[in-house]
Amino acid sequence: MTPTKLPRLDLGKLEKVVERFSSLRLLVVGDVMIDEYFWGDVDRVNPEAPVPVVRVKSESTALGGAGNVLRNIAALGVNGVLCSIVGNDYAGDQVTSLVSDLGLDPNMLIRVDDRLTTQKTRVGARSQQMLRFDRETDLPIDRQLETAMLALVDSSLDKADGVILEDYGKGVLTPFLVRGLIKRAKTRGLGVSVDPKFEINMYKGASFIKPNLREVEALAGFPLKDRADLVKAVFRIRKRVGGSPVIVTRGAEGMTVFEEMEDGLDVPAARSEVFDVQGAGDTSIVALTLARLAGANLVEAAVIANAAASVVVGKLGTATASLEEIRDLLPQSVESARSVRST
């Protein structure tokens, strides 16, 4: 199946779209977590077991999940606020502190005594991740917490230009909460963009959905062997969300936009050296959302998001992209997207 050719792309217009990012304000709702990293060298094997010994040289802690979406927003000079649930534990303290360190308000984080804050710890050596261990809960929040979050959302929507729902399957985004949030946002004329995980029906009415290929397979219920399978899978997903556009991120291959055309529009990404794909999806949802709010159509937004994701995969750890870095890669991203017309 041959994809539809891309419309004309104007680099000057896309540069002006990016310049408008800093005037916007986003509300992020979803699963927040702590990403912890230990990096070092390996020069021997553990005599106690056949595993390498990592001599730790550096360590760091960063916001992950919906928190990494907030980090990406802040890195672009955009005003953002995060609404989520964390435990009354040390990792929850870290989340609150790291949000404050971004110069943003942590008061929309609800602390819960009997809930564990999700924490992912990665161990790596020589730029390669070797091990990850997780401490988390994925139990759905109860009705009392759902109601409390909706009250917080109500207090923030009037000051927001758009909403991002970041679903990592850790129980914060329940059907009751999501449907109530989308209804409230639409009443105010606000768009809602979604980074989904396992559930899709509750996102009916969203402005667009942004799954990756693995998530498309999980949501559609069958493996993707070729492009025809992708088209079939996205058609099934769009039917379940009331026809909302779907933008599929495809790693180094870029993105495919499904809006009016059933066979989709492929938007290739510029080739770049990849060090770590961690967090690239979070960068993409932020760039897509901001670009749409700043006047880009979905294809133009995908070109900008490809540039942002290319910046992030060239860095180690859960990284972010700045406005300057995106602007620098925009010409390459535009040229890569234009190349589809000659194939």
Q: Which of 70, 171, 181, 166 is nearest to 115 (CA)?
A: 171
| Cβ within 8 Å of residue 175, ≥6 positions away | 199, 201, 202
**Distance, CA of 148 to CA of 29 (rounded, Å):** 13
**Distance, CA of 183 to CA of 191 (rounded, Å):** 11
How do strand 265-267 and strand 255-258 relate by DSSP bridges? Answer: antiparallel
Query: Phi/psi at 293 (nearest 5 deg)?
Result: -65, -25
- C-alpha triplet 129, 132, 133: angle, nearest 5°: 170
Give Dmax over CA atoms of the chain in angstroms: 63
Q: What is the DSSP string of 8-24?
A: P--HHHHHHHHHTGGG-
- Please give the single-letter amino acid code of residue 74: A
Classify the C-alpha dihedral 290-202-228-258 as positive or negative.
negative
Q: 184 exposed, middle or buried (CB, 10 Å; 0-12, 13-18, 19+)?
A: middle
How do strand 128-135 and strand 119-125 relate by DSSP bridges? Answer: antiparallel
**Which residue numbers are catalytic?**
282
How do strand 109-112 and strand 79-87 relate by DSSP bridges? Answer: parallel
Angle between helices 227-240 and 213-220 (to 10 degrees): 60
